[in-house]
A and B are shown apart, each in its own frame.
Chain A
Amino acid sequence: MLLSCDTFRNLCRARALLAGSSEPCLSVKHIANEVAISPYHFIRQFEAVFGITPHQFRIQTRLDQAKLLLAKGDLSVTEICMEVGFSSLGTFSDLFTRRFGAPPSLYKRSARAMVQVPGNYPQELFPGCLSLMGSLPATAFRNFQEASFLSLR
């Protein structure tokens, strides 16, 4: 698929709209109208460019926002659930666990245990991959051909 400049710009604008609002009334159909693409084409094109549907993207954005709020620690899990736009604590908890591998309450406890400098997120929350290099096994540094040869033996 080759995207025109206008369509590209509109899809990026749609992404920003989906990321920027937790208002449940801003439906996918509404956003499609905002960017002047039919809902059918909007969902297909959005998924082709961003790898997920607009609805899935909105849910992921809310879960990511929830994760940050849980790390900050000022609000309860229930308050955060409502704050990011979920109406059901059970649904929020299930989706969060599926995406991040731990329920919101457990994530909140582990994030709060990290040393925090006011105004900054602790480095352990978002370790850059390169800084984790020291935790890799020695085999991770084998040449690819050598690793392939050894795995065949």
Chain B
Amino acid sequence: MRIKLTSLMVDDQDKAMKFYTDVLGFRKKHEIPMGAYKWQTVVSPEGPGDIELSLEPNANPAARTFQRAMFDQKIPLAAFEVSNIEKEYDRLAALGVVFTTKPMQAGPVTIAVLSDTCGNLIQLYQPAM
């Protein structure tokens, strides 16, 4: 059994694809129309080529309620590893990204938390070498 796919709910699939590629720097792997929605996934240009992140719609009212509650409680719903968190923070802030937490030491990692503009807080983390 392998972990090759994970998913994150977003409030707008087009907006999410733009943010996750143009801003965060992931690459689109699939964008396949499926009726009212799309099967859309991104991969990292740095990481293993076959681990995909699916950006799925939060159309289900229960999903929306959950997502908003997590956001309001400042709970990130995904975390991405970075090699240099200060550099990423500066790069993303210059692109207009909103952070709720700037890089700070938290035990064995340095973390920062940003809004993905699609209903989620995302944590970036850099493990100590």
Q: Which residues of A contact B (CB under 8 A)?
A: 1-3, 8, 12, 15-16, 45, 48-52, 68, 100-101, 121, 125-130, 132-133, 135-137, 140, 143-145, 147
Contact = CB atoms under 8 A, between A and B. Distances in A.
The SS class assigned to the A binding surface is: helix
Given A48-B96, A50-B119, 17 more contacts: A1-B97, A3-B98, A49-B98, A52-B12, A126-B63, A128-B60, A129-B7, A129-B34, A129-B54, A130-B54, A130-B56, A136-B34, A136-B39, A140-B30, A144-B27, A144-B29, A144-B52
A12 B121 CA distance: 12
Nearest to B51: A144
27 contacts: A1-B97, A2-B93, A2-B98, A3-B98, A3-B99, A8-B74, A8-B100, A16-B68, A45-B98, A48-B96, A48-B98, A50-B115, A51-B19, A52-B12, A68-B61, A100-B36, A121-B60, A126-B59, A126-B60, A126-B61, A132-B37, A133-B39, A136-B32, A140-B39, A143-B50, A144-B29, A144-B43
Interface residues of B, number: 39
Interface in B11-48: 11-12, 15, 19, 27, 29-30, 32, 34, 36-37, 39, 43
Nearest to A140: B30
